[in-house]
């Protein structure tokens, strides 16, 4: 996968002696053009560097994290690349794709859709786990040592990627993740459209269910703001804590008083997460 694909530079800026760039390529998995934001630290000018894949949340694009998180300074210090894919296929114009913020455009939920019309394009899991890494790691100075993180819907994505593919990643973390999507409105809406009406088919895309069924050799780190407006209805980190206790999985759940769901929260604690991943990647 990715053997014949090319990366087309869209934009590039110097940043902490490295470079922030946007690259476009044709995705075979999603059958559309996709754009990703990538930070390459200064060490990448001399050798391949390890990478953090960052998965963003509902309504975001590849640009939100690069513009708002303030991660480049520490990434440059550590010698860590950051790859930020988009959050859904683009330009497909499926029926109902642009009608709500929590389904379709900007809301791919990092699953492989099985239901028409979504299944023709909405295979974000395969894109994030297989196709995009194959493309960027073969064409840019990015090595095979990977970590994964994300926010909200993207925190859900990071957790399921690491739980389903533990050999691909050396570490995983999440900010304000949707940990039990089969039991909350965001997940139920998206999964019923993408995966069908049988909740039994949803469990393989639910972090709490995966932990109970498979456990996890990787420890999990989760950052959660206690003033998050989505905390009680959509996020419910206590469900993840319960699943981890039952399965004997190590969870470092850090609940932060006064912090909400915004990028101000992410910007406050992203340095901690980068250094956490750096230790697992062998550069911290």
| 261 catalytic residue (yes or no) | yes
- 171-206 pLDDT, tens digit per residue, is 999 999 999 999 999 999 999 999 999 999 999 999
Q: Are 113 and 194 in contact (CB under 8 A)?
A: yes
Point out the catalytic residue in the list 152, 173, 176, 216. Answer: 152
Give me the CATH topology for the region 8-281: Rossmann fold (3.40.50)
The residue assigned the tokens 């990643």 is 169
- 228 flagged as catalytic: yes
Q: Which of 2-6, 73-77, 246-250 has the lowest mean pLDDT?
A: 2-6
- 284: confidence class by pLDDT, cuts 50, 70, 90: confident
Domain ranges of the chain: 8-281
CA 128 to the chain's CA centroid: 8
Q: Spot the catalytic one: 121, 261, 273, 277.
A: 261
Residues 6+ apart with CB under 8 A from 110: 55, 124, 125, 128, 153, 154, 156, 157, 160, 161, 205
Report pTM. Answer: 0.97
The model's pLDDT over 19-54, given as tens digits with 9 standing for 90+, comes to 999 999 999 999 999 999 999 999 999 999 999 999
Active-site entry in 56, 228, 273, 277: 228
* Mean pLDDT value of segment 211-235: 97
Q: Is 36 a catalytic residue?
A: no
Question: What angle in degrees, to the nearest 10, is found between the helix axes of 207-214 and 237-247?
Answer: 0
**Other C-beta atoms lying within 10 Å of the C-beta of residue 71:** 23
Q: pLDDT of 200-215, one tens digit each?
A: 999 999 999 999 999 9
pLDDT at 4: 55
């Amino acid at each position: 996968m990715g053997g014949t694909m090319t990366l087309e530079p869209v934009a590039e800026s110097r940043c902490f002696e490295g470079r922030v760039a946007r690259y476009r390529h044709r995705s075979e998995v999603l059958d559309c053009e996709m754009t990703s934001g990538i930070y390459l630290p200064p060490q990448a000018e001399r050798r391949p560097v390890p990478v953090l894949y960052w998965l963003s949340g509902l309504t975001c694009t590849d640009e939100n994290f690069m513009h708002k998180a303030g991660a480049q300074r520490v990434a440059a210090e550590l010698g860590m690349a950051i790859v930020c894919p988009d959050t859904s296929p683009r330009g497909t114009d499926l029926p109902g794709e642009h009608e709500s913020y929590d389904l379709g455009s900007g809301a791919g939920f990092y699953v492989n859709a099985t239901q028409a019309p979504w299944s023709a394009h909405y295979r974000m899991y395969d894109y994030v786990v297989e196709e995009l890494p194959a493309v960027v790691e073969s064409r840019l100075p990015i090595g095979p040592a990977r970590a994964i993180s994300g926010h909200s819907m993207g925190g859900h994505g990071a957790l399921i990627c690491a739980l389903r593919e533990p050999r691909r990643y050396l570490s995983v973390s999440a900010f304000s993740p949707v940990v039990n999507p089969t039991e909350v409105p965001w997940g139920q809406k998206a999964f019923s459209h993408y995966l069908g009406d049988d909740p039994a088919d949803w469990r393989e895309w639910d972090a709490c269910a995966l932990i109970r069924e498979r456990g996890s050799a990787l420890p999990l780190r989760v950052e959660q703001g206690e003033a998050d407006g989505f905390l009680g209805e959509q996020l419910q980190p206590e469900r993840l804590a319960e699943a981890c206790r039952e399965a004997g999985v190590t969870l470092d759940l850090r609940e932060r008083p006064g912090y909400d769901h915004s990028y101000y929260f992410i910007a406050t604690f992203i340095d901690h997460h980068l250094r956490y991943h750096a230790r697992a990647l062998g550069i911290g």
